[in-house]
């Protein structure tokens, strides 16, 4: 299953259909490309208006590394939901583990954060991903993480 979906179909409206996240925690603005069962390239437009910049850090705003990882996880959730055709089912993607996170360069307001995520391993409802975030080709974060697809809590 290596079908590439049209990027034009993944504007913010389509992202909102695929993810349950909403402001202030929605960290994917559009999908540039998606190859079902393989990989996704999504983008987060980093704005000075983001609430976390008020405290991280005054006078030197930097996007927290954990939010870069969350942005990659949301991109991975779109990849998983689209690959498994789960859009509209109410299924959620939960973090299970984060491994080997490395933060390389700061992410500042006004940039476009590129989110590249690929499947590493697929087992039943548990999936392992490899992600890389970057700004203008410069890596800001590398990480591997595990997630599970499950029903929402009752």
Distant-in-sequence, close-in-space partners of 12: CB < 8 Å, separation ≥ 6: 29, 30
Distant-in-sequence, close-in-space partners of 75: CB < 8 Å, separation ≥ 6: 28, 31, 40, 42, 115, 117, 131
Decide if 56 is catalytic. Answer: yes
From the list 21, 41, 56, 116, the catalytic residue is 56
Query: In angstroms, rounded to a whole number, what is the distance separating the alpha carbons of residues 29 and 44?
Result: 5
Q: Could you give the residue numbers annotated as active site?
A: 56
């Amino acid at each position: 299953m290596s079908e590439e979906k049209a990027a034009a179909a993944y504007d913010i409206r389509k992202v909102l259909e695929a993810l349950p996240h909403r402001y202030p925690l929605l960290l994917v603005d559009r999908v540039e490309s998606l190859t079902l069962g393989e990989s996704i390239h999504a983008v987060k437009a980093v704005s000075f208006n983001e609430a976390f910049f008020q405290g991280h850090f005054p006078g030197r705003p930097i996007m927290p590394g954990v939010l870069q990882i969350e942005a990659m996880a949301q991109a991975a959730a779109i990849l998983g939901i689209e690959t498994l055709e789960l859009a509209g089912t109410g299924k959620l993607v939960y973090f299970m583990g984060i491994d080997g996170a490395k933060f390389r360069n700061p992410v500042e307001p006004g940039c476009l954060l590129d989110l590249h995520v690929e499947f590493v391993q697929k087992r039943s409802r548990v999936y392992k991903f490899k992600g890389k975030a970057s700004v203008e080709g410069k890596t800001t974060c590398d990480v591997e993480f595990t997630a599970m697809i499950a029903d929402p809590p009752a």
